Amino acid sequence: MSPLTDVRALVFDVFGTVVDWRTGVARSATRLLGDRVDAERFADDWRGRYAPSMEEVRSGRRPFVPLDVLHRESVDDVLAAHGAADVPAAVRDELVLAWHRLDPWPDVVDGLRRLSARFVLAPLSNGGVALQVALARRSGLPWDAVLGAEVVGAYKPDAAVYDSAPRLLALDPAQVLMVAAHDSDLAAARERGLSTAYVHRPAEFGGRSIPPATDPAADLSVTSFTELADRLGAA
């Protein structure tokens, strides 16, 4: 008997795992900035500021603020680096909402619908609640609840974020399966007793770097949410 037979809930990393942030952010950059920036490089550079900006919170150097606030700050640096330092504040505010308007990978909606019939589903992302609600309403993601960084006031890989999922869902840690396209996220989840499933998302970085095909440390490695539904017996 595989331990995964006890799983009752699935929690998901979102940026890269559920949605294609690079294409979506580049699309908004093109819409709002025209040819003033190379849209895909702009998306990559902005995403590059993600970890350092959260590290300020994780280290305790500043109190928790939602990801939208960090994005609003980091977009100033990215615009300056791309020679677009004169972009008006209202456009910068609108650029932040690019992260609320990302499309899921093609397998996601079908896979989640099938999984939803059998499991409780929730995002466990560093993106905030309003952002997750916007993504879900845009694409029909059938979340049962929105968990993650803002609910806890801490960013992954802080243990508090992973611990919050079984606590708020009233389950044992192993009954919660963390699904992510990043092995570091899964390693941190496993450290807190969660079950783990790796999803291979080769296009996340637009081919600039290809993540490994599988994560040998995970309970399961798949290439899509529909394969995940198959493997978990969710018709």
35 burial level (CB within 10 Å; 0-12, 13-18, 19+): exposed
Residues whose CB is less than 8 angstroms from the CB of residue 180 and which lie 6 or more positions away in sequence, other chains included: 12, 13, 17, 186, 189, 196, 197, 198, 199
Interaction of residue 129 with its own copies, rule CB under 8 A:
yes
Interaction of residue 14 with its own copies, rule CB under 8 A:
no
Residues in contact with its own copies, counted by CB under 8 A, come to a total of 20
Interaction of residue 160 with its own copies, rule CB under 8 A:
no
Residues whose CB is less than 8 angstroms from the CB of residue 153 and which lie 6 or more positions away in sequence, other chains included: 64, 160
User: Residues 16 to 75: which contact its own copies by CB under 8 A?
Assistant: 66, 68
Choices 54-62, 86-94, 132-140, 173-181 (CB under 8 A): range interacting with its own copies: 132-140
Other CB atoms within a 10 A radius of the CB of residue 99 amount to 25
Interaction of residue 136 with its own copies, rule CB under 8 A:
yes
User: How does DSSP assign 25-45, residue by residue?
Assistant: HHHHHHHHHGGGS-HHHHHHH
At which residue do the structure tokens 């993504």 appear? 135
Binds its own copies (CB under 8 A): choice among 33, 81, 84, 145: 145
Interaction of residue 169 with its own copies, rule CB under 8 A:
yes
* b/e sequence 155-186, b meaning 16+ C-beta within 10 Å: bbbbeebbbbbbeebebebbbbbbbbbbbebb
Shortest CB 150 distance to its own copies, Å: 6
Choices 27-35, 71-79, 128-136, 221-229 (CB under 8 A): range interacting with its own copies: 128-136
Shortest CB 196 distance to its own copies, Å: 21
Pairing outcome for strands 220-222 and 120-125: unpaired
- Nearer Cβ to its own copies (158/215): 158
Interaction of residue 133 with its own copies, rule CB under 8 A:
yes
| CA–CA distance, 163 with 128 (Å, rounded to integer) | 17
Choices 23-31, 55-63, 123-131, 223-231 (CB under 8 A): range interacting with its own copies: 123-131
Interaction of residue 168 with its own copies, rule CB under 8 A:
yes
Residues near its own copies (CB under 8 A) = 66, 68, 120, 128-130, 132-133, 136-137, 143-146, 150-151, 168-171
